[in-house]
Copies of this chain bind each other. A is one copy, B any other.
Amino acid sequence: MSPTPGLSALDPHSASLAERTIVTLRKAVLAGVLVPGRLYSVYQVAEDLGISRSPVREALLRLAETGMVRFERNRGFRVVPPAPHDIAEIFSIRLALEVPAVRRATLHASADERAALRRRYEAMEAAAHSGDEPAFEEHDQELHALLIDIDGNARAGRIVANLRDATRLAGASTVESDRSLQEVLIDHLPIVEAFEAADAEAAASSMERHLETTGRLLLRRALRRHGSTEDESSIWDRLAGRP
């Protein structure tokens, strides 16, 4: 059969409804439409979205696995902001995965990949200058994702993406109160520079520093929000310490 160039596909076959619902619900949570702590029902959400309960339940189950949401049998479900301990767990794992990933990625990156990372960083930069925080967060996420992609470990990529999701609630709208976008931006710069210079060790240690400062910051916030008097460093060192 003769191929028909230019007629490849009408969009990547629209994902399943459940899949799209995950995205929708994530946005709703981040936008504050779904308030942490309040009790919701699958019933109600399905009606609001104009779809049936099945895909909604499926989406929520997925989000429940990341810890973003918790089901209460015969009661409903809640959006749960991550507790301090969760933050520490998450960043401990991210440190373990992303630091070696960046080291390997730096060693094996192609010219195209270097250019792609640079473009991501410049997108972050632009978003920072125009003060577009949602876009900034988006590009931040994708920069991290790209590095893991280059490393070639798709599973690790999915794990890290899920972990990031779970922490979004702890950071999102309060980023600017503690740290300007500029500060977060320059936190990433050494990673990108070391990556481009093919200095794997420098890239790895830059990533380590970046994740540690970000993690500790979010941990402090979570402790404050919880009204806990516990010490940040003791929790951090216990779970994410690297002696």
Query: Which 9 residue pairs are nearest across A and B when measured between Cβ atoms?
Result: A96-B96, A89-B155, A89-B153, A96-B97, A93-B156, A96-B100, A92-B153, A153-B239, A159-B159
Are A155 and B67 also in contact (CB < 8 A) when A107-B243, A241-B104 are?
yes
Taking CB atoms and an 8 Å cut-off, the chain A residues in 65-116 that contact chain B are 65, 67, 86, 89-90, 92-93, 96-97, 100, 103-104, 107-108
In the bound assembly, the distance between CA atoms of A156 and B155 in angstroms comes to 14
Are B155's CB and A90's CB within 8 A?
A: yes
Are A238's CB and B100's CB within 8 A?
A: no
Interface residue A37 (Cβ < 8 Å from any Cβ of B): no
Interface residue A123 (Cβ < 8 Å from any Cβ of B): no
A163: which B residues are within 8 A, CB to CB? 155
In the bound assembly, the distance between CA atoms of A103 and B163 in angstroms comes to 22
Are B93's CB and A97's CB within 8 A?
A: yes
In the bound assembly, the distance between CA atoms of A153 and B239 in angstroms comes to 7
Residue of B nearest to A71 (CB): B16
**Closest Cβ–Cβ distance, residue A24 to chain B (whole Å):** 18
Are A97's CB and B100's CB within 8 A?
A: no
Chain A, residues 212-234, CB within 8 Å of chain B (1/0): the string is 00000000000000000000000
In the bound assembly, the distance between CA atoms of A242 and B200 in angstroms comes to 11
Interface residue A35 (Cβ < 8 Å from any Cβ of B): no
Taking CB atoms and an 8 Å cut-off, the chain A residues in 127-182 that contact chain B are 151-156, 159, 163
A89 touches which one: B62, B65, B92, B156 (CB < 8 A)?
Answer: B156
Are A100 and B155 also in contact (CB < 8 A) when A58-B61, A61-B58 are?
no
Are A238's CB and B108's CB within 8 A?
A: yes
A100 touches which one: B86, B159, B242 (CB < 8 A)?
Answer: B242
A103: which B residues are within 8 A, CB to CB? 243
Can you offer 16 A-B residue contacts whose CB atoms are under 8 A? A58-B58, A62-B65, A65-B65, A67-B155, A89-B153, A89-B156, A92-B153, A92-B156, A93-B97, A93-B155, A96-B96, A96-B100, A100-B242, A104-B239, A104-B243, A200-B243
In the bound assembly, the distance between CA atoms of A62 and B243 in angstroms comes to 36
Are A152's CB and B239's CB within 8 A?
A: yes
Residue of B nearest to A158 (CB): B65
Residue of B nearest to A163 (CB): B155
Are B154's CB and A89's CB within 8 A?
A: yes
A90: which B residues are within 8 A, CB to CB? 155
